[in-house]
Amino acid sequence: MVVPELRAWRAARPHVVRIKRTVQPHVTRVAQAVQPRVTKAAQSVRPHVVRAAQAVRPRPVKVTTPRLTAVAATAGLALAAGAVAFAGPWDSSGQRTAERDWAASREGEGGADHGRSSDTSPTPPKPAPSAASVLTGLGGSTVSVPAPTQKALTSTLDRLLGDPALGGRRTAVVVDVATGKRLYGKGADDAQTPASTTKIATAVAALSAAGADHRIETRAVLEPGTKEVVLVGGGDPTLTARKEAAGWASLRTLADETATALKARHLNQVTLSYDTSLYTGPALHPIGSNPNLAPVSALMVDEARTDGSASGPVNRAADPAADAAVKFAGLLEAKGIKTTTPGPSKATNRSQSLASVSSPPLSALIERMLTNSDNDIAEAMARQVALATGRAADFDGGAAAIDAELKKLGLPLSGAHFTDGSGLNRDDRLTADLLTALLVKAGDPAHPELRPILTGLPVAGFTGTLSDRYAHDASGTGLVRAKTGTLTGVNTLAGTVVDADGRLLAFAFLASDTSDPSAAQSALDRTASALAGCGCR
Instruction: Please give the positions annotated as active site.
Output: 196, 199, 373
User: In DSSP terms, which residues pair with 485 in a beta bridge?
Assistant: 492
CA–CA separation, 145 and 14 (whole Å): 35
Sheet holding 480-487, edge to edge: 182-186, 169-176, 504-512, 490-498, 480-487
**Gap between the Cα atoms of 483 and 425, Å rounded:** 17
What are the DSSP calls for 444-468, one per residue? Answer: -TT-GGGHHHHHHSPBTTTSGGGTT
Please state, in angstroms and rounded to a whole number, the distance separating the CA atoms of residues 213 and 354. 24
**Hey, what long-range contacts does 30-33 have (CB within 8 A, 24 or more apart)?**
30/73, 30/74, 30/461, 30/474, 30/477, 30/478, 31/69, 31/70, 31/73, 32/474, 33/474, 33/475, 33/477
Let me know: does 347 contact 434? Beta carbons within 8 Å. Answer: no
Q: Let me know if 111 is exposed, middle or buried by CB neighbors in 10 A (0-12, 13-18, 19+).
A: middle
The three-class DSSP label of residue 121 is coil
C-beta separation of 129 from 115 below 8 A: no
Contact indicator for 105, 8 with CB cutoff of 8 Å: yes
For 36, 100, 140, 211, 506, the CA distances from 144, given in Å and listed in that order, are 19, 34, 8, 35, 20
Amino acid at 453: I
Q: If 0-12 CB within 10 Å is exposed, 13-18 middle and 19+ buried, where does residue 130 land?
A: middle
